[in-house]
Every structure is written in structure tokens, then in C-alpha cells.
Amino acid sequence: MTSLTCDVLVVGGGPSGSSAASWAARSGKKVILIDKEIFPRDKACGDGLTPRAIHELTKLGLGEWLADKPKNLGLRAAGFGQELLLPWNGPSLPKHGSAVPRIELDNRILQVAKDSGADVHEGVAAFDVTMNGGAIESVLTKRGEEVIEYRAKHVIIADGVRSQLGRKLKREWHRDTAYGVAARAYITSERSDDPWISSHLELRGADNEVLSGYGWIFPLGTGEVNIGVGTLATNKRPADLNLRQLMSQYTELQRDEWKLSGDLRLPWSAMLPMGGAVSGVAGTNFMFIGDAAGCVNPLNGEGIDYGLETGRLAAEMLQTETDFSEAWPNELREHYGLAFSIARRLAGLLTVPGLLPKAGPIGMRSRSLMKVALRVMGNLVTEEDKDITARAWRTAGRLSIKLDHRAPFS
């Protein structure tokens, strides 16, 4: 068995892992990042980048690279007989978003990690750990038949929604709290340069009944759009939708308006952990970040910005703490606890049968309400914001977290 040592081992090279590896390497640590795939690799995603993701990618140094990518101005929300154009509206964030296929985006962020000094080992799958008390002593991996043991002072785990290491480390994902299931594909569109991302909040099933799901079309500026459907579920109210079938149905409904041609390419569905509904997110010398820590917005399914942010926050914590067991969940709660608590409470309500058909038309009739909804749904309230929406959102969060039987990340 080969044995390798480093200061920081990062498991997973998605946005979270690459961000963590970049910031840790920049602070002078010897970093190794491993990923089971060989890059460039695809990932089921809507490919949407909110202004918050743009902000974080710019911090990483990708501002110039993003300048060549399509810019979107906000959300075109459609449903219940209405269509609203809602510009991105967080006062302390960029005024545009973007959409970049993950096969390209993740490869580019991984390159940032390499350029920052991290060693990247691709095709290396972590399958187990050895422990010394509450600390990881080594991570056991396989590259083909070869077993490689990585010994690191600190381990940052960014292995995504399924988190194989999570199972070994008693991380628990609580699915009594709302989670997402979604499917995406690519298709040629003459409106690939449309400057708005579109979301259809009213999806109908075969019998014209309103389903508790939504559809999206994110223009990529490449001649294609990312098209997808998603819904929320809980253990009690599992999603009883055939997502692939629904995605095909939705595509046919949008074919004329979006000037779509040809077949769906690379359809792929996956689950989304949401709202920090994960416990056991840290031990003495390890931290879970990104999807592995349930860091996805319960109201719109975006997780790239949280992944990038938690990667940076974890790298910063390496400098300040010697035991992450309590410090890391506390840090996650401090940044995301209030917003996740209220957002997942609202998401849970959306899984109640019959609520969406009643509430949807009321919401869609009010442009001001939808503007506020876009801001909070898009994670565009930052800690610096002091305006009335930001304050009301935080107050609702404080109330919600008091009522939680299990607060986010606990």
C-alpha cells in the first residue's frame, strides 16, 4: 500500500472541494485534493450561477474568465397566468448571474486549485478511514486496484450528496426535513442568448393537475439551454413524480416558445440535500462542506455558491481552530442557520398537497412580493444588508430556529 502525507487532504473536486483546496493552498498549506473521477467530468445540475456565486468565483480569481460567459439579469418567473421579469436585487452583490455547464465550470475551478499550489490526484476514490479517537488518522482510497493511504493533519470532505465518507463517519442526513429531487438535460435553442433565466412555477401533470414541482430553462449562450424539472419531498411526503417523463413533457410544452430543436441530451437526475439538514458535519480534525454538509438553498436548489463559500470558510478555520467538532457546525449555523431554518420550513409547506395551487396564484399576482421572494430564494440577503427585507428575513429566521426541533447542522 502506498502512503502519502500532507497538511490538508480534500476529498472531492466539485466547487466546494476546489474552493477549499485553493484557499488552503494559498495560506501556505501542503494540500492534496483527490477525486474519484477524471476531469473534465459532468455533474447533474442546472448550471445556474447566482450573483452570490459570481461574487465568490470572482474572489477566487475567476472574474476575467467569467467576463466571457453569458450574463443573466434575473429571473423570468411564469405561472398561474402571469409572467414577471424580476432583476437580481441583492444590494451588496453583483447585479448579474450566469450559467456555465458544470463540465466546464468544475474543470476551471479545479485548475484554480492547481494554480494555487494544490496537488490534484484524479481517479482516486476514498472508501474508508482509520480513526484515532475523534480524529481521522488516514483516508483509504483506491485508484484502480491500487490502495493508497493518505495521512493528513486535516481532512476537508466535499464528496457531494451521497458522501461515501459520511457513511463511515456517522454523518446523518435527515430526510424528514425537505429535500429536493431534480433532473436536467441539454437541448439546442435559438434563444440560447436570452438574458433571463426562466422558471415555471406551475407544472401540470397528465390530468392537468398542478404538481408540487417547477421547471427551469437556463440559457447557456452556447446554442443550448439547460432544461430541467425539480420538486421537493420529505420522508413523509416522498416525490411521486417520474422526473424524466416530466422533463420530456415540460420540454414539449416549451418547444415552440424557446425554439427548441432536436432531442434532450445527457438527461440526469439526482437528489439535493437542503437547508443544513445534516448532523455530524465535523470531528476533531475534519469538516464536511458543500452538499456533503447539506448546504443547498431549500427554496431554489442552488448549492454552488454555498459550496464555494463553505470551502473558503473551512480553509479559514484551519488557521484559527484546533478542534472542529463544535466550531464547524457553529460556524455553519452562524452563517446559514437563520436563512436555512426559515427556508426549509417554507419548503416543507410546499410539499403539502394542494397548497401550491392555492398560494401560487396569490403570490404571482404581486410583483413586489415576487421581488422579495426572488431575493430571499436566490440567497441574495448578505450579513451586511440592513434593509427592511433583510431584517424581516433574519427576524423570521430567528423565530423559526427557536421552533426547530433540530436546528440546521445539528
Ligand X SMILES: Cc1cc2nc3c(=O)[nH]c(=O)nc-3n(C[C@H](O)[C@H](O)[C@H](O)COP(=O)(O)OP(=O)(O)OC[C@H]3O[C@@H](n4cnc5c(N)ncnc54)[C@H](O)[C@@H]3O)c2cc1C
| Interacting positions 140-159 with ligand X (CB under 6 A) | 158-159
Q: According to the binding rule CB under 6 A, does residue 12 interact with ligand X? A: yes
Q: Binding residues for ligand X, how many (CB under 6 A)?
A: 38
Report the chain's C-alpha Rg in angstroms.
21
Of 277 and 388, the one with the shorter C-beta distance to ligand X is 277
Of 11 and 93, the one with the shorter C-beta distance to ligand X is 11
- Single residue of 6, 9, 10, 15 touching ligand X by CB under 6 A: 15
**Shortest Å, Cβ 148 to ligand X:** 11
Q: According to the binding rule CB under 6 A, does residue 44 interact with ligand X? A: yes
Residue whose C-alpha is closest to residue 103's, from 14, 11, 221, 218: 14
Residue 253 makes CB contacts below 8 A (sequence gap 6+) with none
Q: According to the binding rule CB under 6 A, does residue 221 interact with ligand X? A: no
Residue nearest to ligand X (CB): 303
Q: Is 22 left (phi over 0), alpha (psi -120 to 50) or beta?
A: alpha
- Single residue of 22, 72, 138, 164 touching ligand X by CB under 6 A: 164
| Interacting positions 232-271 with ligand X (CB under 6 A) | 270
The contact mask relative to ligand X for 176-215 (x = CB under 6 A, - = no) is ------xxx-------------------------------
Q: CA distances (Å), 109 to each of 40, 82, 289, in order?
A: 11, 38, 16
DSSP state string for 255-287:
TTTTTEEEEEEEEEEEEE--TT-EE--EETTEE
CA 42/CA 159 separation, integer angstroms: 14
Of 25 and 359, the one with the shorter C-beta distance to ligand X is 25
DSSP state of 97: B
**Shortest Å, Cβ 184 to ligand X:** 4
Q: According to the binding rule CB under 6 A, does residue 139 interact with ligand X? A: no
Q: CA distances (Å), 177 to each of 36, 112, 238, 308, 334, in order?
A: 29, 35, 11, 23, 20
Report how many helices (DSSP H) and strands (DSSP E) the chain contains, helices first. Answer: 12, 21
Q: CA distances (Å), 133 to each of 126, 137, 148, 153, in order?
A: 20, 9, 22, 14
Q: According to the binding rule CB under 6 A, does residue 34 interact with ligand X? A: yes
Q: According to the binding rule CB under 6 A, does residue 302 interact with ligand X? A: yes
Q: According to the binding rule CB under 6 A, does residue 16 interact with ligand X? A: yes
Of 12 and 94, the one with the shorter C-beta distance to ligand X is 12
Dihedral (CA of 38, 42, 45, 46) sign:
positive
**Shortest Å, Cβ 298 to ligand X:** 12
Cis peptide before 40 (omega within 30 of 0): yes
- Single residue of 79, 97, 160, 219 touching ligand X by CB under 6 A: 160
Q: CA distances (Å), 403 to each of 78, 132, 142, 237, 279, in order?
A: 33, 37, 44, 21, 18
Q: According to the binding rule CB under 6 A, does residue 11 interact with ligand X? A: yes
Of 14 and 79, the one with the shorter C-beta distance to ligand X is 14
Q: According to the binding rule CB under 6 A, does residue 380 interact with ligand X? A: no
Of 149 and 357, the one with the shorter C-beta distance to ligand X is 149
Q: According to the binding rule CB under 6 A, does residue 347 interact with ligand X? A: no
Of 126 and 407, the one with the shorter C-beta distance to ligand X is 126
CA 206/CA 332 separation, integer angstroms: 41
CA 104/CA 40 separation, integer angstroms: 7
Q: According to the binding rule CB under 6 A, does residue 13 interact with ligand X? A: yes
Of 233 and 256, the one with the shorter C-beta distance to ligand X is 233
Query: Residue 83's beta-bridge partner residues?
Result: 78
Q: Which residues bind ligand X (CB under 6 A)?
A: 11-17, 34-37, 43-48, 53, 125-126, 158-160, 164, 182-184, 228, 270, 272, 290-291, 296, 301-304, 307
